[in-house]
Amino acid sequence: MVRKLQAQGISHPGVLGAMQIVERHRFVDTALANQAYEDTSLPIGLGQTISKPSVVARMLELLCQGREGRIGRVLDIGTGCGYQAAVLSHLVQEVYSIERLRALHEKARDNLRAFRLANVHLLFGDGMAGYAQGAPYAGIVAAAGGNDVPQAWIEQLAVGGRLVAPAVTDSGQQHLIVIERHAHGFTRSVLEPVLFVPLKSGVS
């Protein structure tokens, strides 16, 4: 899987190393384990999916790009099965990962228990509101896309921080968006088209 990611242009050594360490088959149903290392999204229940490895790697490479060593505190929105939080745990000092669907929150807790990741904090709540108690964040990454990036996320970003999330642009298509916070404002970049599950508010 990692060799395929390199062939697709992923070059950040930390991201490649983290994806080598975290066994993706442990985050999908046993019946799908033989597909775990293919570059495909897979169902994890409740209409949600585990993202394609290439998409996870791309987003985390964007998050880490040009930054030395481990990033500080990162907010992971949409825990899902817990895979991205596990990969992040090897790249950042602390992960706050929030999930709005209780059944998935519990599934992620079960999946991550064996890994004993002391720097991963799983939260049950509305990810659209972010998690103000842990702010400001050196990075924010989201696994669901809405019509725009919620203002709460932008406000919870630290100066020097970077946010990577899918959102619908003026074209009507979902694209990867990167927002960086500077001392005197923000820069926003629109990158390649992507297809993520819709961002929803509330808990269930």
Q: Which residues are catalytic?
A: 51
Distance CA 143, CA 166 (A): 7
Under the phi-then-psi rule, with left for phi > 0, alpha for psi from -120 to 50, and beta for the rest, what region is 45?
A: left
Contact 164, 176 (CB under 8 A): yes
Q: What is the DSSP letter of 199?
A: P
85 token code pair: 């939080």
2 token code pair: 């990692």
Nearest to 18 by CA among 74, 70, 72: 70
Distance CA 46, CA 144 (A): 14
Distance CA 110, CA 104 (A): 10
Nearest to 166 by CA among 47, 16, 59: 59
Neighbours of 125 (CB within 10 A): 14
